[in-house]
Every structure is written in C-alpha cells, then in structure tokens.
Amino acid sequence: MKKLTRHKFAFVITLLFTLLLLGSTGYLIYNISLLKDIENFLRLIAVIALVIIALLLIILGIRFLRKYKRVKLIVTIIIMLIFIGLEGFIGYNISKVYGSIKKVSDNSDYTTYSASLVTLKDNKADSLEDIDDAKLGVLEDETSIEGSIIPKEVIKKKNLTNETETFDSYISMIDSLKSEEIDYIFLPTNYSIMFGSMEGYEDLKDTTKIIYTQTKKVKKEKEETASTKPITEPFTVLLMGVDSETEGIGNSSFNGDSLMVITFNPKTLSTTILSIPRDSYVPIACFNNQKKNKITHAAWKGEECMQKTIENFLDIDIDYYVKINFKGVVGLVDTLGGVEVDVPYNLCEQNSNREWGANTVYIEKGKQTLNGEQALAFARNRHPNPSMCSAKWTNYTSNDFIRGQHQQEVVMALLNKFKSIKDLNTVYDLLDTISNNMNTNMSTEQILSLYNVFKDIAAKASKNSDMADLLGMQRLYLNGYDQRIYDYGGTNLSLYNYVLYDDSIKAVSNAMKENLELKKTKAIKKFSFNINTPYEEIVIGKDETSKTSLVLVPSFVGKSLSYVNSFCGANGIKVNVNGSGTGTVIAQSVPSGANVEDVSSITITLSGGSTETSKSTNNQTNKNTTTTDQTSDKTDNTDKENSDSEKEKECINNGGTWSNGTCTPKTPEDDAKE
C-alpha cells in the first residue's frame, strides 16, 4: 500500500479515474440491459468485453502506479479517459432513446379529463366572478366526468350558489346556449373539436368562449385492452388521429375522424390496412344497449370505447392502439425533409391550426415532395371547399374513402423515409417529435422488440424498394350506402350516416383473421390475365353489396291509425294515441328517420278531436279492435297504404325524405353534410 501512496498526486489521479471508469462501465452496462430482446448475443459479448477492458485498465494502472512507471501510467490514464468518454457517450444515447420510447408508452395509471364553463362570445363575463346568479347547464348523466362530475366539483370548490339546469345531451345544452335560453354551460374543454364538424355547429369556436377550466385525474380501471402478446406473433394495431390546436399529445382530444386498423404478420411480413369511414353506422360499445351511431361519436367516450366498438363489429381483437396528434404529423414530415406523394388533383385545405384566409394550404396536382403542412392538409381533405377557394382548387370529387386512401399514402411515404435515415441528429429530432405527439398502450419492451421486425424488413429492402411491396400491403375497404338517420335519444339531429354492408364487414374481417393466422388462408388455384389489360389490385370488401336489415320510422303524418299500428306492431313499438281524434295522424313524438331499434314507444296525435284526453293502445291486443270510422278507413285505403309503404321504404333506403306521399330524393349536397 505504501508503494501505491508514496506518489500522492499520482495515486489520487489513478484512484479518481479508476472510480470514474467503474462508474461509466456500470452506467453503460445498465443501459445496455434495458434493450431487452435486441441482439441478445451481441449485448452479452459487449458486456463481457466492457468488463474485461475495464479490469485490464485498472490492473495496468495499479501496476504502473506501484512501480511508478510514469509514462506508462499517464498513457493508461489517457486510455481510461478516452474509454470513460466513449462509455458515457454510448450510455447517454441509449438512455435518451429508451427515455423517448418510454414516454410514448402509455404506462400512466390515470386519465386526465377536462371540463370548461362556456358562454357566448359576446357575453361580457370573463371569469366565475362575473356570472352572478345565472343558471348553469350540466349534463343529466351523473356518471359523465366532464358533463356532471367535474361541474359539480367546480360548484362546490368555488362555493357557487347558482342553480343548475340538467340536459339530456351536450347538443341540447349547446342549442339552449345558442338560443340564449341559458347563459352558461359546462362542456368538455375540447367541445369545439368534438362538435365543430357537425352540421349547424361549425361556428362553435367563433361564437363561444371559455371562462373557466378544471381538470381531473381519474385512476384507470385495470387495463384489459393492453396485450401481452409477443411481437413475434401476428398482431393488430389501431391508429387513431387526435386533434389539437397546440403540440403535445397531452393537450390533444381524440376526435375519431381518422381511424386505421392494421394487421401485421412478422413471420410473413404481410400487412392489411383498413381506413374506417368516420360516419360508419355501427353499434357503439359504451352507449346504452350498444346503440348504433356513427363511429366517430365513440370518441366522445375515449379510446377504450373506440377500441371495443371496432373489436365488436369487425370481430377481431385489437392488440395495441397508437394515438397520433395531427400537429405532430407536421413536425414529423418536416424533420424527415418532406414526403413524396402523387397528388391526384389540385386542392386547398385549412392549416394545422384550422385556419383559412392567408393561412390556407394549397397543393397542386402531381408527384411531389410535400412539407408538413401540405402532408397534413392532403391527409385531412375530405371534400372541395368552394366557399373558401377558387375553382382551380375545388374542381374534384372527394369523400371519406378517398381521404382514407390519402392517409394511407402519407403513412407509407413516412415509412419509406424512415428507412433512409442515417443522421443521428435526425434520429434525435424524430424521437423528440414522436415522444411529444404519440401515445400507445404497448409496453416499452414491446416497442423495443419491433427492432427485430425492422431488421428483417431492412434485410430485404434495397435502396429503391417500396415499403408497400416489402410489407405485402393488402388494402381493405368497407362498402355501404348513404342514409340520413335521426339520432333519437342522442343528439336529436338528422345525421348523415354510412350504413355498412354485412358481407363487406365479413370479407374485411376474414382477410384480417387470415393474416393473423386465426383462419386458414384460401389458396388461389387459378389466375388469368390479359397482357393488353392493365392489372387492377383486388380490394377486399369493396364490391360487397348485401344490405343490412335497417328499418327507419316513417312519417306517419296523413296516415291512419291502422297503418301506424301495422308498422309499429311489426317492429315491436308500442303506440300511444294522444287526444280523442279519430282521423289521420297530424303529429308524432318520434321523428321520421329514427332507427326502430332505438324506439320502444311512440305517441301520435289524430285529427278530428280534442287533445284533453289520451288513450293507449297495445299492438298485440288491439290489432283488430278499431272504431267504425277506422275500420272503414282501413277498408277504403288498404291498397293505397300498401303501395305507399313500399314506395316510402324504397325512398328512405335510397337516402330520400318521405312526406305526405311524396319522395324528396337525396341531393349531392346531402353527401357533403355530416
């Protein structure tokens, strides 16, 4: 020991660098251990090599210090310093990558909800102190966190003595605010995004303002949607677009406008991709009795509701979901230097802040490299905007399907860019953008294990290879028909919906199950082609046209009671007759266009009597019991009513509106509406 300490300065320096070396080696080995299932053999060799080199340097340092071979000791310490710096650099980079990936992984035990007190923009009130004794609108549903629970907490916390008025839906609350029947209402903070795309509510952002906001963290129930399936097995991913006026996934609201389901088989590197139209009319898992509605409305209840809804109607399990903030797409594309896309027509669209005017994004037709704003506009565009742009930018036809195809093209263009990244700074910029604007229920270890999948893809990829070809991309398509349906007991609005064909859903579901190895793939035994005819890719689900048994409540106005009883009896609806009239129907409690599945009873008013009394008739017992006038009416009009009934059903199924024996056909403008 005396030999080691006789040169005190050399001893202190050697001891210091020995400790630093041990620390840096331990730090690097720890970070290497985080990379589970990534090159396990190489990681083991690296750890062994690090330990051997560190021990060798320490032994040499002690030996040269004991014999005090000054030059050799200095060289050894310099090598130690270089090795410490190298280990620190590698360890830091691994730690940074792991931290970014961990941030993307949704391991939080809490979900944050936010509710705001909203009023009209011209109201002079700017805070809770300004609302005086005005009534406050809250949601009737006491289980709603944003519509009832948070508002009640605000009232209690702020000692508000204001009277509250309950509403059966957010829409009825907003209607009352717009008509100035109530001055203040509690809504989810992202209300302008949730309802701003609905017909008649596009101006919410411009006509209302928030005067108070409160958030609430709610502990999640036991996670049942996260999969423990290894990435080496076929899996399903749900991509969900979320919307925000600011960057960051934490400030974004999932709006259900952009939905993509991807199945991937890592064994065969085959992929199916399906864009789900936002207006698809399906059973919503978290609505009472799984009431059918447009799928975008499932987003009002959060990503778990959306995930379960899709699982139910496609009959598959969603293993993972990924939420992506639309504004993050702008940064992602710009970081990669743009993406190459073949734009089919000139178009214009809002920018990422949903602004027009000087901020309008214009994209010309042709194959080109799009920047972030252009790529987002291309992926968002659903229909022309003639009221915002000149004819040069609006001379095309588009819809939700075309938008889905555009979104798929942007995703593939991004993947093509990813495989060419070589700059470390670009990797860091991408990690920063992704970690701030993306969230998933995949564990950090599951995300890391994707390395092996990308390694297989990279091994097969060439410089000019296309990712769609490498992944054996099969596009799927949900076919259906347009139908306006009255959202009875929900928004109480007549909404545009896209009713999916049963056979189309089945074909899409089967294709996914085959790729997931849940169903045996049918081998194609015959294949014919014509050299003079260009090959067209078969899109599964696109040509299926079997109709669903959707029955809508007709307009009973002008019809007899016997007609009402006949229709309602066949569909299990109880009929209540209001008043003492014995003529034809002059009013009905359930508007025409409502799905009969949502209606248990209906009240009608007949002409020719007072409304001071009311009576009820049961379809099963009163089917053959009518007044003399009603019987006579039935005898005289049976043939006409049967004819009208068939015409009415045909009219409604084709998207038209039936009233007083006349069909008003669906117009092209209806397709552009919600």
Give the C-alpha separation, 514 to 265, whole Å.
10
Give the C-alpha separation, 48 to 90, whole Å.
16
Residue 331 falls inside a structural domain = no
Residues 208 and 255 in one domain: no
CATH code for the domain of 512: 3.40.630.190
Residue 380 falls inside a structural domain = yes
Residues 296 and 442 in one domain: yes
Residues 566 and 657 in one domain: yes
Residues 233 and 288 in one domain: yes
Chosen domain end from 168, 186, 219: 219
Residue 332 falls inside a structural domain = no
Residues 490 and 594 in one domain: no
Residue 550 falls inside a structural domain = no
pLDDT tens, 444-468? Answer: 888 888 888 888 777 776 655 677 6
Residue 556 falls inside a structural domain = no
Residue 312 falls inside a structural domain = yes
**DSSP assigned state of 119:** E
Residues 200 and 212 in one domain: yes
Residue 495 falls inside a structural domain = yes
**CA nearest to 111, candidates 187, 217, 213:** 217
Residues 54 and 132 in one domain: no
Chosen domain end from 195, 219, 243: 219
Give the C-alpha separation, 500 to 479, whole Å.
6
| Residue with tokens 């598959």, as numbered in its chain | 316
Residue 266 falls inside a structural domain = yes
Residues 602 and 487 in one domain: no
Residues 429 and 416 in one domain: no
DSSP result, 593-620: TBBGGG-SEEEEEESSS-SS-EEEE-TT
Share of the chain above pLDDT 70, in %: 82
Give the C-alpha separation, 500 to 577, whole Å.
35
What does the mean pLDDT of the chain come to? 83
Pairing between β-strand 270-275 and β-strand 473-476 as defined by DSSP bridges: parallel
Q: Compute the C-alpha angle 263/319/221, nearest 5°.
A: 155
- Label residue 627 by pLDDT band (50, 70, 90): very low
Residues near 653 by Cβ (< 8 Å), separated by ≥ 6? Answer: 481, 483, 547, 550
Q: State the pLDDT at residue 554.
A: 96
> Domain range spanning residue 663?
561-672
pLDDT surpassing 70 at residue 51: yes
pLDDT surpassing 60 at residue 568: yes
| Total count of domains within the chain | 5
Residues 316 and 447 in one domain: yes
CATH code for the domain of 190: 3.40.190.10
Chosen domain end from 104, 127, 161: 104
1 compared with 415, residue with greater pLDDT = 415
Give the C-alpha separation, 427 to 433, whole Å.
10
Residues 429 and 289 in one domain: yes
Residues 624 and 580 in one domain: yes
pLDDT tens, 347-374? Answer: 999 998 888 899 999 999 999 999 999 9
pTM of the model as a whole:
0.79
pLDDT surpassing 80 at residue 612: no
